[in-house]
A and B are shown apart, each in its own frame.
Chain A
Amino acid sequence: MSALCPRIRTWVLTCGLVVGCGELGAPTVGDDPEGIDVGLRGPDPVAVVVPLRRLTRTQLHHTLHDLLGDALPPSLDVRSMLPPDDEHGGFSSNSTVVPSELTVAQIERAMEEVVAGIPSRRGRLDPCLDTAEPTPQCMNRWVDDLAPRAWRRPLPVEELEALHALARIDTLPAGVEQDAVDAAIERVLLALLLSPDFLYRLERGEPTTDPTVVALTSHEIAARLSYLLWSSMPDDALRIDADEGRLADPVVRLEHFERMFEDPRARDGLVDFHVQWLELSSLDSLDKDRNLFPTWSEALRPLMRQETSTFVDYVLRHDDGRLATLLSSRMTFVSPALLPWYGDEVAEVEPPSSLWRPEGTVAVELSSEQRSGILSRIAPLAVHAHASRSDPVGRGALVRRRLLCETLATAPADVPMGTLEPAQGSSQREQLERHAHDPACAVCHARIDPVGLALESYDAMGMFREEDAAGNPVDARGAVPDSDIHGPVDGPVALQRALAQSEQVLRCHARQWLRHALGRAETPEDDALVERLTERFVASDGHVPTLLRTLVGSEAFTMRRIR
């Protein structure tokens, strides 16, 4: 235990003197000594509880593709084979429910399916396997290379030997169709991929002077970095520094941060956060009323997802990286098939050359009268709507939950609620006004409805409209009561501009990232960390890379409080 204390002290010193965070828009190391020393001001280092997490569907998807490369068909969607994730604090973490037999069986089945496709591509695992009878040396070499990447740490010799035993090419009984080499490869892959060392983000750490805190190993820190930024496994550069034990040093971590944030995989990490943040995962099963939307088709779903992903990547990695821009930018990158949903008032513009975007998409600037930021994009608007009509309550609740960090109860059981199609002379606004008359409804809906009503200018598909389906003129006046947005907001653009300028929204956003990073909702014990991240985020004017850099550079990022 004592061996570790000097390292922590050195750390303090290093941190205070040398390392810092870049200013807005300038992702460089070393120009702000205040940026990263989360927790070092107080008497004790800030270590927070991090639950044991099983990799989420998205993380497993990216990890398997990174691990197995082109031995997997690039289009293979591992996500759809896996059971749903458990959430905590509104983000997938698989940390709350102990695995049931069904979950384990479902994971087994998914991995068997993934592995089953490999034999025809086994030469792509290692060129020496591309023969009818690979040598034992070849098999073992492949194992020795794959295992430390799969388990995100070096393996002691006895663990490798156990894998070598599985890699032995045994003669199979008569009547078995499978090739003996394929069977050996399958055994190794199943053993590696079904082991807890792969499926869980194990953080064993090393003891510190505080028995309730462990200091993560460099390899464990590498995984925290890669899953936060890429939703995938560490790459070779991280592994090399982890092998050297260098990742406890914040300077080294921040160098990796800059590199990783530039890497195309950062898009995957950012998209993973934003899809969860705006509750967009149901996009995959989105359906609309074809009578009202005759051009709706399921083929639009992936295009909607792509648009959101490209927009997020654009703002955070190619524009100024600020939350306010995410909530106010009018740039978007869409497939021509989606363009009609944005109406006529769009102007084609030159996209930034560095931005990757799916083939065939066009860069456009949307109407300043109609659109502002991510909340006015098709995907969030269509997901947070019913099949045939908009959903002001759902949209309002989304803003309160995800942008203002409020916990909302669902409607009480005994209250009749909901509205159906707007009727002539009775818009959804008028129907919602009934909430005001019943105190049981009013207590929550006075907060929710005015927010959602400001988004009434968008129909169930997210199209801008002046009239609802029944011909009632749209009245999109709203407000954000009980917040730092005072007074009325007139329409969706005003609402989103107000949200973009709200400090409350900024503060909430830092919490949302922390929930995602920790795999749980925050508790009062996390106050010091929350406060430091929030202050830093507010001071940077909502610069998301600065927020992430602060987290990555913090001591909390290298520690784990255990129970």
Chain B
Amino acid sequence: MNPNRRALLRALGLGMVAAPWVPLLPSHAHGDSIPRRLLVVHFAHGVARDRWSPVEDAGSLTLSPILAPLEDFASRITVVEGLDNPVGRAQVGDVHNIATGTVLTCTPLSADLGAGGHYLPGGISIDQRLAPELNGDDAVPFASVQLGVRSQGFALASRSVDQPLRAEDDPVAAHGRLFGELARPSSERGHRAEQRRRARDFVRRRLDALDALVPQGDRPVLHAHREAVETLQERLDAMPSAPPECSVPEVSQPIDQPMTPADVDVPRILRLQTELAVAALSCDLTRVMTLQWGSSGNDGLRHVWQDIDEEFHSLAHLANGEDAHAHEQLARMNTWTMEELAHLLGRLDAVPQGDGTLLDYTVVVCLSSLSVGHHMGDLPVVIAGGGLTGGRHRIHPETPISALWTSLAQHLGVSMTGFGDPDHDHGVLPRL
């Protein structure tokens, strides 16, 4: 391990000291203009409703108990209430699948194949729709990145109909994928790259050869596989050869069962994924990201680190009703989520960018696809950064969430007039 890696390991592993961030691809990659980014953060199972709403007061917010951890950003965030997922509500099937799989696509699932994240999306998700626009002609290594924490196959993002984009839940693997090539010494790197290139060339030739031989119905799978191999190889080729200027976080603590970590490991993994997300954005490895904090399903997670022994999912069902205990516990868990959001915003705000910070150039949308008692209406949404005016509390009763996506697209300079299922599309949000 080189000294730089070791230092970063210390920084991350022992308390995550703030490290300076330097863009990997300084201005030459995107001319003089600083790129705009989109980061969607999804958390599971909704909020304790009566402890959520802030009060707007002269360009700032008086925060509610749950939102209190966002104090430092009270004048820079907007809380939007009332947004609805009419597409999801109209579909019959597994609520968790439908909510997660439709909130960013605004189209019904094409197939609901079984509880636990087994579904096919019905269309492109907003992050994917915006990715080519935000990347423009720049050579951005990753068209988009999806990271998760015990997301367990629930896909939030979707390339197109039937093409879910799941999150990488393993920070060690995510690190290898995002930064692995950058972190190798150059002699070793050339060799590894060559080994991979030869294996991938071979695989591509096999996929090509098989295309004519397999029954027609098998071809879409092989085509998708080929495209994936191609993309991986293009990225490897495009990786800058000089040692990068940007700081690459190191994640090398052994994580037991990264795909299904123990409850107690969830906060640590979440922080690592946050760190990787901020680094990937600051290094301009990608401009479009989704972060999935927790499984959208009933995975038995308990917030044991908050001394809560009941399952998050059960508590969320019982809260917002007569069960005061469950309600209290849900509010505590929501508050923890907002602490993590505040931490994320703080990390983005610590990266200098132009005459501001990375947060100023990143639209952050933090939401849950479920609200009270697994309902898909009145979704909790916080938006921040990206040059949006903050300190506001907006209520748009029963307005489809597609309106939020269209409005944000317009804010990011993409001319869209609607998004998703036209039957449930209501244009834009006024005065966002």
Contact = CB atoms under 8 A, between A and B. Distances in A.
A416 B177 CA distance: 42
In this complex, the member of B196, B218, B225 whose beta carbon has the largest number of chain A beta carbons within 10 angstroms is: B225
Given A87-B118, A387-B302, A420-B325, A200 B221 contact: yes
B95 A187 contact: no
A106 B318 contact: no
Contacts of A386: 300, 310-311, 314
Interface residues of B, number: 85
A525 B118 CA distance: 23
Interface stretch (A37-45, A173-181, A438-446): A173-181
Contacts of A102: 146, 165-166, 168
B199 A289 contact: no
Contacts of B310: 386-388, 420-421
Contacts of B287: none
Contacts of A90: 114
B168 A287 contact: no
A512 to B, nearest CB: 14
B191 interface: yes
Interface in A93-137: 96-106, 108-109
A98 B162 contact: yes
B396 interface: no
Contacts of A414: 373-375
A282 interface: yes
A100 B166 contact: yes
Contacts of A562: 215-217
A204 interface: yes
Contacts of A86: 113, 118, 153
B214 A104 contact: no
Given A291-B309, A414-B375, A87 B114 contact: yes
Given A83-B166, A100-B166, A195-B203, A416 B318 contact: yes
A145 interface: no
Contact of B314 (A97, A166, A195, A420): A420
Contact of B164 (A97, A183, A298): A97
B73 to A, nearest CB: 31
Contacts of A200: 221-222
A377 B320 CA distance: 37
A388 B304 CA distance: 13
B131 interface: no
A354 interface: no
Contact of A410 (B115, B217, B259): B115
A309 B418 CA distance: 54
B222 A175 contact: no
A411 interface: yes
Interface residues of A, number: 71
A414 B84 CA distance: 14
B287 to A, nearest CB: 16
A196 B222 contact: yes
A97 B120 contact: yes
A191 B373 contact: no
A407 to B, nearest CB: 9
Contacts of B223: 98
A387 B216 CA distance: 48
Interface in A187-229: 187, 190-191, 194-197, 200, 202, 204-205, 214
Contacts of A187: 195, 198-199
Contact of A96 (B111, B213, B299, B311): B111
Contact of A415 (B185, B200, B263, B373): B373
Contacts of A101: 227-228, 231-232
Given A191-B202, A416-B317, A418-B317, A173 B118 contact: no
B198 A99 contact: no
B144 to A, nearest CB: 10
A387 B225 contact: no
Given A174-B187, A289-B309, A409-B93, A284 B260 contact: yes
Interface stretch (B13-21, B204-212, B278-286): B204-212
A84 interface: yes
Given A287-B263, A414-B375, A418-B318, A104 B232 contact: yes
A287 B262 contact: yes
A463 B216 CA distance: 53
Contact of B210 (A84, A196, A387): A196
Given A187-B195, A416-B321, A563-B215, A176 B228 contact: no
A88 interface: yes
A2 interface: no
Nearest to B151: A84
B318 A100 contact: no
Given A90-B114, A410-B96, A173 B191 contact: yes
B55 interface: no
Contacts of B225: 98-99, 104, 196
Contacts of A195: 202-203, 206
A186 B166 contact: no
Nearest to A414: B375
A387 B311 contact: yes
B206 A196 contact: yes
Given A172-B191, A287-B263, A563-B215, A87 B113 contact: yes
A24 interface: no
A413 interface: yes
Contacts of B94: 409-410
Interface string B21-51: 0000000000000000000000000000000
A417 interface: yes
Contacts of A412: 95
B176 A99 contact: no
A551 B153 CA distance: 32
B426 interface: no
A80 interface: yes
B237 interface: no
Nearest to B121: A97
A10 interface: no
Contacts of A76: none
Contacts of A298: 262
B248 interface: no
Interface in A534-563: 560, 562-563
Contact of A100 (B115, B199, B224, B321): B224
B423 interface: no
Contacts of B187: 173-176
Given A80-B257, A420-B318, A162 B191 contact: no
B375 A420 contact: no
A164 to B, nearest CB: 12
A174 B310 CA distance: 58
Given A162-B202, A183-B195, A100 B221 contact: no
A285 B262 contact: yes
Contact of B207 (A51, A196, A413): A196
B217 A52 contact: yes
B398 interface: no
A197 B166 CA distance: 25
Contacts of A282: 260, 299-300
B137 interface: no
A80 to B, nearest CB: 6
A416 B89 CA distance: 16
Nearest to B219: A52
A98 B227 CA distance: 11
Contact of B217 (A83, A103, A563): A563
23 contacts: A83-B259, A86-B153, A87-B116, A87-B118, A97-B120, A98-B163, A98-B225, A100-B163, A104-B225, A187-B195, A190-B196, A190-B199, A191-B198, A194-B200, A195-B202, A284-B260, A287-B300, A386-B300, A386-B314, A387-B311, A417-B373, A418-B314, A420-B325
Given A84-B153, A173-B191, A413-B373, 8 more contacts: A99-B228, A103-B166, A172-B191, A191-B199, A196-B210, A285-B300, A287-B300, A413-B95
The 10 closest A-B pairs by CB, nearest first: A175-B187, A98-B224, A190-B199, A562-B215, A104-B228, A418-B317, A285-B260, A563-B217, A191-B202, A52-B218
